[in-house]
């Protein structure tokens, strides 16, 4: 029971922080809109993209949702590094709460922030002319849960192995951008050169984007049950892994 309270408390703080950093919320809504409106319209005008009603803009809409969740989750995960630098992590570490509970609380908090981002984007679907029904909305919401939790796990894993914010640029170039670009957020994942195809299917975000695309547009490359299973398994693995490693490496985190 006490552990639930610990998880809840850590989640609650994370959620509060998210809501209070208004500038972060604004920029994380504006950035995807820029992608949709400028990149989507720009490239959409040059491409003949007839597979999806609504064209290229509609095609990248699920991808941009995936991107937003990815960026929010990784950046929030990295906030553990900041907690460590500002000393607040010690206050949490010395409390009578188990290490896995700390990780679960954090991950749920991060996932909450990412899901809020995703929901804001879903509500803005009319901008790119995508039809949104209550069923699609709920299905997307449910899908976003494992996607966010999984990526929050990735963010936490990065934080566990990173000492300072100086490694941040490395994380951007070697993890976040490749995950985004390989996910098929911006292009169809079928009919690619085989080396790229392999890389695309190694990217866990591919399955998240594909599941969202199947639900929103009905044009996923994989069956929904398959992409959803991969996303759920991915979430379970990253969270378990970060809980285990966080407990193991707690001495290095001080």
Residues of the shown chain interacting with another protein in the complex, contacts defined by CB under 8 A: 2, 5-6, 8-10, 12-13, 16-17, 20-21, 83, 86-88, 90-98, 250-251, 254
State which residue, 3 or 172, has the beta carbon closest to another protein. 3
Indicate if the alpha-carbon torsion angle 53, 57, 61, 63 is positive or negative.
positive
Q: Give the shortest CB-118-to-another protein separation in angstroms.
A: 23
State which residue, 96 or 134, has the beta carbon closest to another protein. 96
DSSP-derived secondary structure letter, 162: -
State which residue, 16 or 226, has the beta carbon closest to another protein. 16
Give 119's contacts (C-beta < 8 A, 6+ positions apart): 141, 144
Q: Give the shortest CB-248-to-another protein separation in angstroms.
A: 12
Using DSSP, state whether 54 is helix, strand or coil: coil
Q: Give the shortest CB-93-to-another protein separation in angstroms.
A: 5
Q: Which two tokens stand for residue 125?
A: 């679907």
DSSP-derived secondary structure letter, 246: H
Q: Give the shortest CB-24-to-another protein separation in angstroms.
A: 11
Q: Give the shortest CB-107-to-another protein separation in angstroms.
A: 17
* Under 8 Å between Cβ of 160 and 59: no
State which residue, 96 or 193, has the beta carbon closest to another protein. 96
* Under 8 Å between Cβ of 155 and 170: no
Q: Where are the alpha helices (DSSP H) in 50-98?
A: 55-85, 88-93
State which residue, 95 or 226, has the beta carbon closest to another protein. 95
Q: Give the shortest CB-10-to-another protein separation in angstroms.
A: 8
Give 73's contacts (C-beta < 8 A, 6+ positions apart): 110, 111, 113, 114, 148, 151, 152, 154, 155
First to last CA, the chain: 27
State which residue, 46 or 254, has the beta carbon closest to another protein. 254
């Amino acid at each position: 029971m006490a552990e639930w309270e610990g998880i809840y408390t850590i989640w609650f703080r994370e959620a509060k922080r998210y809501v209070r950093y208004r500038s972060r919320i604004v920029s994380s809504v504006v950035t995807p809109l820029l992608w949709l409106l400028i990149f989507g319209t720009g490239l959409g005008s040059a491409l003949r993209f007839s597979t999806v009603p609504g064209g290229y803009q509609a095609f990248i809409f699920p991808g941009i949702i995936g991107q937003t969740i990815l960026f929010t989750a990784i950046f929030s995960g990295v906030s553990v590094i900041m907690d460590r630098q500002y000393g607040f992590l010690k206050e949490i570490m010395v409390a009578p709460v188990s290490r896995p509970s700390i990780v679960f609380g954090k991950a749920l908090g991060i996932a909450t922030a990412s899901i809020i981002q995703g929901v804001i984007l879903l509500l803005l679907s009319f901008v790119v002319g995508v039809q949104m029904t209550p069923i699609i909305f709920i299905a997307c919401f449910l899908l976003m849960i494992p996607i966010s939790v999984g990526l929050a796990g990735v963010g936490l894993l990065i934080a566990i192995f990173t000492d300072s914010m100086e490694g941040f640029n490395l994380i951007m170039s070697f993890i976040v951008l490749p995950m985004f670009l390989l996910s098929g957020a911006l292009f169809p994942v079928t009919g690619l050169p085989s080396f790229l195809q392999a890389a695309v299917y190694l990217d866990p975000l591919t399955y998240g984007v594909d599941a969202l695309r199947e639900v929103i547009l009905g044009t996923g490359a994989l069956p929904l049950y398959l992409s959803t299973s991969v996303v759920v398994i991915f979430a379970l693995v990253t969270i378990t892994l970060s809980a285990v490693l966080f407990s193991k490496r707690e001495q290095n985190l001080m």
